[in-house]
Chains A and B, each alone.
Chain A
Amino acid sequence: MPKVSMTVNGQAVSANVDPRTLLVEYLRENLRLTGTHVGCDTSQCGACVVHVNGKALKSCTMLAAQCEGASVTTIEGLANGDDLHPMQEAFREHHGLQCGFCTPGMIMAAVDLVNRLGKDVDENTIRHELEGNLCRCTGYHNIVKAISAGAQSMG
């Protein structure tokens, strides 16, 4: 089995993995970082979104081996110790989650969209940008509100 090395949430990690191992499987099974979720098998739901070298990616669409040398951030690595990231805080403040299963992917996608589009991103743009993330609980109403508020806080 080939060896793969990367940085996950600031920590250097390496392991010998089956070449078929997806990044999400590596995170969940090898590193026991179970905050990243698997909600589908067609790369449609976005529950598995993480940041790879600063960009949001669905970790079910990448092999772990493709992340050789990469820097990966998962939901567990977003807060600064006990200080929540402003987007995490905004989801809590605006009730942007119910069952919590899509939430890690939503938050990681939201941080990325604000990084790309800035703090004044409007509601329509947020809704369009969330096309790759499914939520069955919230009707998206409060997720959109949370991302608008989180964007302002991040700015």
Chain B
Amino acid sequence: MNANGIGARVKRVEDKRFITGNGHYTDDMNRPGHVHAYFLRSPHAHARVKGITSSAATAMTGVHAVLTGDDLAADGIGPLPCGWMIHSKDGSPMKTPGHPCLAQGKVRYVGDPVAVIIADSLALAKQAAEVVEVDYEVLPAVVDLATAQSSATLLHDEAPRNTAFEWELGDKAATDAAFDGAHHVTRIELSNNRLVPNAMEPRAAVGEYDAGTDHFTLWTTSQNPHVARLVMSAFLNIAPEHKLRVIAPDVGGGFGSKIYVYPEETVCVWASKKVRRPVKWTSDRTEAFLSDAHGRDHLTTAELALDERGKMLGLRVKTLANVGGYMNLFASSVPTYLYATLLSGQYDIPAIYAEVDTVYTTTTPVDAYRGAGRPEATFVIERIVEVAAREMGIDPATLRKRNFIRKFPHQTPVIMAYDVGDYHASLNKAMDLADYKGFGKRKRESARRGKLRGIGISTYIEACGIAPSQAVGSLGAGVGLWESAEVRVNPVGTVEILTGSHSHGQGHETTFAQLVADRLGIPFENVSIVHGDTDKVQFGMGTYGSRSGAVGMSAISKALDKVVDKGKKIAAHLLEASEADIEFKDGNFTVSGTDKSIDWTSLALGAYVAHGFPPSEIEPGLKETSFYDPTNFTFPAGCHICEVEVDPETGVTEIANWVAVDDFGTIINPMIVEGQVHGGIAQGVGQALMEGTAYDSEGQLLSGSFMDYTMPRADNLPSFKVDTTVTECPSNPLGMKGCGEAGAIASPAAVINAITDALGHEDLAMPATAQAVWRAARKTSQRAAAE
């Protein structure tokens, strides 16, 4: 094996610049003569905008412009689209009224941008914003998800009952029949709490217009700069694609929140032409809380039908999903095809029926956040399995094993065809690592100290490697979800990989180079990875949904195959042999069975010198491209076990132990994969224990800063025991499944299963803060006293 090849714990290439302060994030960009944008945002959750008077602001020296929704409309700049069409049960298309970048007629959440003030300095822009007068007619807020459909107030006239769509998946009749024949039915009600993604780098944008070439450039904090360019070009009418360059340089975390095209970035690039100066905007954290797309926010009722041995017969799920004030770019896909299609979990369930109503409220728009639909599905299935086991007096691990899928491929009743997996292997390994058998002893020891100890399992599955273009197209996606790669071999044999994936913490500059070094047998240091610039990389779909390994690296692999094939043709001429006799191994092209060979560097030079082969047969140069479209989703799966100790006097939950055993298929760099799992678990623990997004009844965000919204900190978390099992994915050339979201998907159910095990009852919602757990523990002691 190449020492820096597939499977090696290679230290990251990108670290040097980050640990020395030499990263280049968007806010680090300073363009000559740039001016600053400040967005005046709605202080009301719901209001009609009757007029905007900006003359006092525009009269101030150093203020370049105050622009509003009317200016956008006058320039034909369109509303932000939703890229995934969902049809309701009755066949009608979803109701998605436009989402203007600056308010047109109404505002629909606190923070909805109303006007942009562009000035020489940010301080001046803020001062000018103070004298912009907006005449609001305040309307009632619609905040409560449970009652939004029956509210007398409509956010959008086009969406009756504030409902975007009423969708279903699965076989209702078969599922109802399964319940009719059930021995036991477990019913639970859950809320999946709204989260604020909070990547540490706030969003930022610099837009620049070159009048000489009529060309725009946008530097922005994006996970998918090509998609941003496509949307701005095809839907928003900013500029045609060949006149718009989008650069996403170093990006400080995304977690989904930087997938979308937002109003602010769009306005910066549009306004740069209007003021003829580069326009810079950087979100502060308060703006980020108000305007970054939030995640989750479901209310769900679920029922599980079982026979007398605990064999699952059917699952019925009804979910209300909050999309906030507008339907965001991929918001419609999250509570539907990324959610209900995973409700089968790791289990052989003959019948499933899910209904999802998606509802507008006067809150910040909701879209994909790490896991996107799959954490919500896992929380439903892993909570209800746990509760069913407790109700039926069956050990939760045993009930899971009785229902695990054993034969692959496995067609679930909810679209997905699982290709491969070994769920017993990951559960058994996790139980060993967690000393599941010794739990009773530890629980008694905790009890002696007045503490409540609990253990919780979560055996999750996700669908990653997003996604086969034809399949998602048939389900309503507006784009294909392939990935592109270009391999450029330089005449000296060094290699540049241009990828449509985007790295914002995942370490692609390292792992992608490992693949290339491994395949070509060249030094790891001789490979560089180029991404995040639409002028360099022709096209790409970006990074989300744990797709960059399974899809992005597969594209690289396919392009490398083409490079090697062409190399063999050239080598055949240079070595005066038949192409069929050329073997490529460890960086050398060799005539089979002889000692005649040419090394990689000489071959690369030969390809460009082009003296040794006929141009009628072979073109000079060595550069190949691939667009890889996956044939199936990938199905990472595994088992997380959380053990907690709850102090009933204070309600504080301490995570005493965490074991994760994940099956990601082939792993390129275990160090990086472990890091992804650690970070995912932390976000899931944050959801389970700390992170709660709260609005008051008037739609004001109460948890709008790091002083009010509890982020997991180092002293809230333990160190994690992370391990793997491996079944290689059969649908892509590398056998990879993806690892980016697993931790966030698995962990909330593990935590809540553990705490409810400790408490002895199920009455506990996320986030299980100390106060919530203290109240729940009082219920435990009251029940004990009553008995």
Contacts and interface: CB of A to CB of B under 8 A. Distances in A.
A99 B200 contact: yes
A47 B507 CA distance: 20
Contacts of A39: 200-202, 285
Interface centre among B253, B678, B714 (most CB of A within 10 A): B714
Contact of B11 (A20, A93, A100, A107): A93
Of listed B12, B25, B202, B252, residue having the most chain A CB within 10 A: B252
Main secondary structure on A side of the interface with B: loop
B46 to A, nearest CB: 26
B358 to A, nearest CB: 27
A141 B679 CA distance: 8
A120 B337 CA distance: 51
Contacts of B20: 35, 75-76, 78-79, 84, 88
B611 interface: no
Interface residues of A, number: 57
A142 B9 CA distance: 14
A142 B678 contact: yes
B504 A95 contact: no
A139 B679 CA distance: 4
Interface in B1-50: 11-12, 14-25, 27-28, 30
Interface in B713-745: 713-715, 717, 719-720, 743
Contacts of A103: 18-19
A75 B675 contact: no
B720 A141 contact: yes
A34 B201 CA distance: 13
B252 A99 contact: yes
Contacts of B200: 37, 39, 45, 47, 99, 101-102, 134-137
Contacts of B30: 32
Contacts of B681: 139
Contact of B285 (A40, A92, A99, A139): A40
Interface in B682-737: 682-683, 705-707, 711-715, 717, 719-720
B284 interface: yes
Interface string A20-39: 10000000100011111111
Given A93-B11, A131-B713, A98 B16 contact: no
A127 B546 CA distance: 29
Contacts of A68: none
A73 to B, nearest CB: 11
What range describes how many residues of B lie at the interface? 35 or more
B18 A41 contact: no
A100 B14 CA distance: 9
A52 B785 CA distance: 58
Contacts of A123: 719
B478 to A, nearest CB: 28
A100 B285 contact: no
Contact of A101 (B253, B284, B714, B719): B253
B84 interface: no
Given A44-B706, A47-B200, A98-B505, A88 B19 contact: yes
Interface string A79-110: 10000100010011101011111111001000
Given A101-B25, A127-B714, A92 B19 contact: yes
Q: Counting chain B CB atoms within 10 Å of each CB, which of A41, A143, A145 scores highest?
A: A41
Nearest to B250: A100
A136 B713 contact: no
B717 A99 contact: no
Given A47-B200, A128-B715, A136-B711, A36 B675 contact: no
B252 A100 contact: yes
Q: Which of B19, B680, B683, B743 is the most central at the interface, judged by chain A CB atoms within 10 Å of its CB? A: B19
B85 to A, nearest CB: 32
Contacts of A139: 678-683, 712, 717, 720, 743
A91 B199 contact: no
A55 B674 CA distance: 33
A95 B285 contact: no
B707 A42 contact: yes
A130 interface: yes
Contacts of B11: 92-93, 95
B286 interface: yes
Contacts of B680: 139
B286 A137 contact: no
Nearest to A79: B20
B739 to A, nearest CB: 13
A8 interface: no
Interface string A106-148: 0100000000000000011011101101111111111111000
A6 B139 CA distance: 53
Contacts of B250: 99-100
Contact of B16 (A45, A92, A130, A142): A92
Interface pairs A-B: 4 shortest CB-CB: A35-B21, A101-B252, A100-B18, A139-B682
Given A144-B714, A144-B719, A145-B719, 4 more contacts: A42-B707, A100-B23, A130-B714, A134-B711
Interface of A: 18, 20, 28, 32-42, 44-45, 47, 74-76, 78-79, 84, 88, 91-93, 95, 97-104, 107, 123-124, 126-128, 130-131, 133-145
15 contacts: A34-B25, A34-B28, A40-B285, A40-B706, A44-B705, A75-B20, A76-B22, A78-B20, A95-B671, A99-B200, A100-B19, A124-B715, A128-B714, A128-B715, A141-B675
